[in-house]
């Protein structure tokens, strides 16, 4: 009877150790699965977008749209070669737009936009957040 009891306890320990290695394997599999979308997201950081608007109020808002209608809002343009912003006339200036609007010559045009997410103030006086930033913009014919 004592031998049977030791055999049962040994069997329980054996099964418990097998279960732990299976759980560990599953955790490793989940880690690999999480890395895949990350690689996919990095590939999406360059895309063809149409310039649809610019607004300036609490922060800069560069608004673009992809071919499927998905809207992208960028908080900053670091590309010095293209300025999506135009200074508005005195008539068009309001306290909301502070005298700036979209460059009408660029509205509706397509661009190859390279962008990244940066930790920076979300608004002029606002908290830091992940903000989409244009790092490169090239016109697409």
Residues 131 and 101 in one domain: yes
Q: What are 105-118's pLDDT values in tens digits?
A: 999 999 999 999 99
Residues 79 and 56 in one domain: yes
Residues 30 and 66 in one domain: no
Please tell me the pTM assigned to this model: 0.65
CA dist list (Å): 4 to 10, 12, 27, 72: 10, 12, 35, 68
Check residue 14 and give its pLDDT. 53
Residues 22 and 60 in one domain: no
Other C-beta atoms closer than 10 Å to the C-beta of 138 total: 14
Domain carrying residue 111: 46-139
Lowest mean pLDDT among 2-11, 73-82, 97-106, 120-129: 2-11
Q: What are 15-42's pLDDT values in tens digits?
A: 555 555 444 444 444 444 444 444 444 4
pLDDT at 63 over 50: yes
Using CA atoms, how far apart are residues 136 and 44, in angstroms rounded to an integer? 14
Q: Tell me the range of 47-51, 99-103, 125-129 where mean pLDDT is highest.
A: 47-51
DSSP per-residue string spanning 9-66: HHHHHHHHHHHHHHHHHHHHHHHHHHHHHHHHHHHTTEEEEEEEEEEESSSEEEEEE-
Residues 66 and 29 in one domain: no
The domain total for the chain is 2
Residues 126 and 78 in one domain: yes
Residues 56 and 102 in one domain: yes
Q: What are 77-123's pLDDT values in tens digits?
A: 999 999 999 999 999 988 888 889 999 999 999 999 999 999 887 77
Residues 52 and 116 in one domain: yes
């Amino acid at each position: 009877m004592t031998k049977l009891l030791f055999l049962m306890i040994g069997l329980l320990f054996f099964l418990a150790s097998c279960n732990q290695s299976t759980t560990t394997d599953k955790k490793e599999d989940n880690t690999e699965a999480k890395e895949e979308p990350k690689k996919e997201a990095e590939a999406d950081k360059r895309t063809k977008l149409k310039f649809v608007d610019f607004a300036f109020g609490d922060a800069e808002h560069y608004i673009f749209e992809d071919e499927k209608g998905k809207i992208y809002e960028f908080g900053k343009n670091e590309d010095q070669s293209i300025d999506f912003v135009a200074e508005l006339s005195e008539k068009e200036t309001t306290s909301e737009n502070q005298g700036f609007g979209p460059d009408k010559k660029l509205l509706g045009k397509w661009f190859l936009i390279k962008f990244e997410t940066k930790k920076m103030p979300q608004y002029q006086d606002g908290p830091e957040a992940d903000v989409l930033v244009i790092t490169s913009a090239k016109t697409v014919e």
